[in-house]
């Protein structure tokens, strides 16, 4: 029961819901998520930490980047399926997905 409460608390934030929706599309780094969400990288990192601690996402090292992706688990899959059905017509999520197509991590992450 504690794990479920932790998981539900972790997703109880609009930015974290947006992050989960984006990570269903593909793996992303902090820079990409910050650009798409329009929030700072430290804010994104805090959200990712909460999602990671709840066991919903994980990070994978890829050269310069840490890519974040969804963890494969039946519990997470069931919750994400419910969320997907509920949030499918949210305008902000549709806008986020359009931005995914335009994001260029090399340009975002390598700016000085």
- The number of residues making up the chain comes to 112
pTM of the model: 0.89
- Domain CATH for 47: 1.10.10.10
- Tens-of-pLDDT digits for all 112 residues of the chain? 787 888 889 999 999 999 999 999 999 999 999 999 999 999 999 999 999 999 899 999 988 789 999 988 777 788 888 888 888 889 999 999 999 988 888 777 765 4
Q: What are phi and psi of 100, to 5 degrees?
A: -55, -40
Number of domains in the chain: 1
Tokens of 77: 């899959």
Contact call for residues 57 and 23 (beta carbons, < 8 A): yes
| Domain, as residue range, for 54 | 2-109
DSSP reduced 3-state for 50 = helix
Q: List, in sequence order, the alpha helices (H) in 12-90.
A: 14-25, 30-37, 41-53, 74-87
**pLDDT for res 47:** 97
C-alpha–C-alpha distance, residues 87 and 81, integer Å: 10
């Amino acid at each position: 029961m504690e794990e479920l409460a932790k998981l539900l608390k972790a997703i109880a934030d609009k930015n974290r819901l947006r992050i989960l929706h984006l990570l269903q599309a593909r793996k992303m780094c902090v820079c990409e998520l910050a650009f798409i969400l329009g929030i700072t990288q430290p804010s994104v990192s805090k959200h990712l930490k909460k999602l990671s601690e709840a066991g919903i996402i994980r990070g994978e090292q890829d050269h310069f980047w840490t890519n974040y992706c969804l963890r494969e688990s039946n519990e997470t899959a069931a919750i994400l399926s419910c969320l997907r059905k509920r949030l499918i017509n949210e305008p902000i999520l549709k806008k986020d997905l359009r931005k995914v197509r335009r994001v260029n991590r090399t340009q975002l992450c390598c700016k000085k």
